[in-house]
Structure 1
Amino acid sequence: MTVADAIRQAAERLSATSDTARLDAELLMAHALGVSRSRMLVTLMREDEPPSFDGLVARRIAREPVAYITGLQEFLGLQFLVTPDTLIPRGDSETIVEAALEVAPDARRVLDMGTGTGALLLAVLHELPEASGVGIDASAAATEIAQENGERLGLAERAQFLTRSWLDAGWSEGLGQFDLILCNPPYVEEDASLDPDVRNYEPASALFAGAEGLDDYRVIIPQLGKLIIAGGAAVLEIGANQAAQVSAIAHDSGFAIELRRDLADRPRALILR
């Protein structure tokens, strides 16, 4: 069977469980071939199907995310390594980077809280060549992946990744202050209905934050004031229905607040000053 035929059949099989069945099939085939998707589409569609492809499709049918199968995810035009120890960077989170660059275009020191793959921090540093930053995560495995992504993107000299949890006393000691703080904390309600792709595969510690999904905001936001320099800002990702609750927590901590929406016009980021 040719690559083109195998992709077509795989897309039909995947359509029952994926809204992006054709794209999934193409990404899995490119991974099986060891080439980029664009190269595959241009030059390899008449080649024979690689033997590993069917197994990859079976994993996706079982709802394993494509990014975990291939080990890669694109975010703002940059390729990031991902593993089941990290959340998969999503297009919705691009709103955080865009807001950060808008409110702090001259930032020199950046902190990324809950860095995961390092996507937020590294995307900002990629756009701000004079800036340096620190990413923290409670997972040592995640900080290792973030460090590797920094090296792959040529940003390792400007990005430091540390294993620290904001739930631990003294977690911020020695970090200093920052012009810009980024944070995509856990914010999913414990009983939320999630797709199996997310609930069964992505790390629960990076998703869930109590009955209302607000537990981590209540810990993080009161601590931000001592970490932000005068005139600096923090940009926090929020769930689509959490703008009022998180804004109230920020207001009680003395912050002025601005809301930014994502491409689907859902509340996505709060800017705290």
Structure 2
Amino acid sequence: MEPVLEWRQGGLAVCSKPAAMSPEKLLAWASTLGAGWELRSCCSSSGGLALLADKAVPTPKVRGTYALLVVPQETKEDPFGFMKDALEFFGGPEEEARVVEEIMSGHFGALALVELDAAVGSGGKLPKEAVLAMQEAGLAVLRLPGRGKAEAKRSSKPSEPSEDVLPGTCVQLVSLQGAGVPRCQRPISAKWRSFLEAEQKLAAQRRRPEEASFCGLKLLVPSEQLRPRNASVALVQAAVELLKSGGRVLDLGCGCGALLLAIRQGTEGSVSGTGLDLDEEAVTCCRANAARLGLQVNTVLADFAQLDSPEVRPQLEAEGYDVIVCNPPYRSTAQQEAYDASVGSFGGYAEHSKTLVAGETGLEMYQAISSCLARDLMAAQKRLLAPPKPVLSLAGSLIFQVEAGSHGRRGGMAGKVAAAVQAASQGMLSFQRIIEDENKMERGILLKWSFT
């Protein structure tokens, strides 16, 4: 995209430029206006207006308004009051800063759109100087380095007066006017507006649990917990089929209890169930949902990679479990970064990344659980099933959910997960089949164990 020339007279010109356009590219475009043009407002990479001047022509003083997205640098009991107080006596006699919009933010708690009026151009404020001035007032200016990402960043002091802000720093020149210069004004960018709206939506989500439907059940789901997906229905169906004669089921990483409660409901009370999670809020929510539905389940607050530990084992069923189900975090850090970059995390659910990201490979949780169960099996074999009894029954099934991905109909992650599980369990967990949904998409894998 090319800049749009807003106004030109004598030795001054004002243009609206695309976000992320570098000073070099902007000056290359300015050369089409004639020789000798230079940047007077620098080139913030968040878009907005740019002031250009002809070096050979005397230019009048120009005033402008910078827009910035800021948050308090430290946690404050009254963040909006703090921001207004910080800007009340801001700057010198020719500068004024004010909060023009304040929102509750899903990621930062409180966020404000601030306007700073100051001289722009020769002897005036540059974008980086505006950012540094906010920092001196105790406010951090946000960066949006990529779509769907945001962070509060402190800028370092510029080594040169003309040095620009870091790419994506939320500062835009939104208006300019001066002697003989008509007022040029533009609203904040669409990207900023979209970000602010998404942060408000996220904050609203986090203020209250939402109700979600899964397998005909109405479940309360805390905002940071994983919301049940239709992709998990195939796992419930597979578990119900395995438990049609009764038995005991263990849900690892139970969250709000979606898998566990749907299996209990589907087996009409012939199955006892336990939900285990490391997150206290998840365990509390699972209990609350079970009570709402009139279903009896046991809940355990523990790490699912420590099932065989002396602290955890006594809290589990003494006779072990016939079926174990688990929908673990299975994204790699690179997958999550790619997801954020492509669709953005701000417009979706408020789920915490800990419910989605396993680690660098995405296989870490599968491997940790499999290693734990293998240790339990080996210990049980050595003591010939003498007390203490193992987590697992004499024979049973393990169901893992997997990510179908874009090629789920012809081979997604199921094969990779199966290989990782069998290797981590030293072959003690035997791969049986891929679990598919009604559309033939890969949704899980079924493994078996038995004492020999």
Same fold (TM over 0.5): yes
Alignment match, 1:230: 394
Read off the aligned partner of 1:188 and give its amino acid letter: R
Structure whose alpha-carbon radius of gyration is higher? 2
Q: 1:167 to 1:224 in 2, by over 3 A?
A: closer
Alignment match, 1:243: 414
> Matched residues in 2 for 1:104 and 1:200: separation?
33
1:269 aligns with 2:444: yes
Alignment match, 1:49: none
CA shift at 1:257, angstroms? Answer: 2.2
Read off the aligned partner of 1:99 and give its amino acid letter: A
1:84 pairs with one of 202, 212, 223 = 223
1:107 pairs with one of 246, 250, 271 = 246
Alignment match, 2:324: 181
Q: Once the two structures are superposed, what CA deviation does each residue of 1:67-91 show, in whole Å capped at 9, x if it has no partner?
A: 8767100000000001123110010
- Contact 2:205–2:223 under 8 Å retained in 1: no
Q: Once the two structures are superposed, what CA deviation does each residue of 1:98-144 show, in whole Å capped at 9, x if it has no partner?
A: 11112232232110000001010011111221211110111001110
Identify, as 1 or 2, the structure richer in strand.
Answer: 2
Q: 1:126 to 1:243 in 2, by over 3 A?
A: same
Alignment match, 2:146: none
- Contact 1:96–1:235 under 8 Å retained in 2: yes
1:259 aligns with 2:434: yes
Read off the aligned partner of 1:232 and give its amino acid letter: G
> Matched residues in 1 for 2:351 and 2:281: separation?
14
C-alpha RMSD over aligned residues: 2.6
Instruction: Note the residue ranges of structure 2 that are not aligned, 5 or more in a row.
Output: 1-195, 378-390, 405-411
Q: What secondary structure sits across from 1:251 in the alignment?
A: helix
Q: Once the two structures are superposed, what CA deviation does each residue of 1:187-223 show, in whole Å capped at 9, x if it has no partner?
A: 0111213242687721211110112210001100133
> Matched residues in 2 for 1:104 and 1:111: separation?
12
Read off the aligned partner of 1:270 and give its amino acid letter: I
Q: Which runs of 4+ in 1 moved over 6 A?
A: 58-61, 65-70
Number of residue equivalences: 214
Q: Once the two structures are superposed, what CA deviation does each residue of 1:22-54 show, in whole Å capped at 9, x if it has no partner?
A: xxxxxxxxxxxxxxxxxxxxxxxxxxxxxxxxx
> Matched residues in 2 for 1:70 and 1:163: separation?
20
1:219 pairs with one of 361, 364, 368 = 368
- Contact 1:92–1:263 under 8 Å retained in 2: no
1:131 pairs with one of 252, 271, 281 = 271
Alignment match, 1:164: 302
Q: Once the two structures are superposed, what CA deviation does each residue of 1:145-193 show, in whole Å capped at 9, x if it has no partner?
A: 11000000001xx201121112457264122410111101110111213
Read off the aligned partner of 1:245 and give its amino acid letter: K
- Contact 1:64–1:201 under 8 Å retained in 2: yes
Alignment match, 1:210: 359
Instruction: Note the residue ranges of structure 1 that are not aligned, 5 or more in a row.
Output: 1-57
> Matched residues in 1 for 2:441 and 2:202: separation?
26
CA shift at 1:61, angstroms? Answer: 9.1
> Matched residues in 1 for 2:211 and 2:204: separation?
8
- Greater relative contact order (CA < 8 Å, ≥ 6 in sequence): 1
Question: TM-score, with normalisation over the residues of structure 1?
Answer: 0.70
Q: 1:198 to 1:117 in 2, by over 3 A?
A: farther
- Contact 1:250–1:272 under 8 Å retained in 2: no
Q: 1:238 to 1:80 in 2, by over 3 A?
A: same
> Matched residues in 2 for 1:264 and 1:66: separation?
34
> Matched residues in 2 for 1:267 and 1:214: separation?
16
Q: What secondary structure sits across from 2:359 in the alignment?
A: coil
Read off the aligned partner of 1:83 and give its amino acid letter: P
Q: 1:199 to 1:212 in 2, by over 3 A?
A: farther
> Matched residues in 1 for 2:347 and 2:243: separation?
32
2:290 pairs with one of 150, 172, 188 = 150
> Matched residues in 2 for 1:65 and 1:80: separation?
21
> Matched residues in 2 for 1:203 and 1:73: separation?
17
What is the percent sequence identity of the aligned residues?
29
Alignment match, 1:74: 213
Q: What secondary structure sits across from 1:166 in the alignment?
A: coil
Further displaced range: 215-224 or 62-71: 62-71
Read off the aligned partner of 1:122 and give its amino acid letter: L
CA shift at 1:66, angstroms? Answer: 10
Read off the aligned partner of 1:179 and give its amino acid letter: D
- Contact 1:67–1:82 under 8 Å retained in 2: no
Read off the aligned partner of 2:418 and give its amino acid letter: S
Question: TM-score, with normalisation over the residues of structure 2?
Answer: 0.44
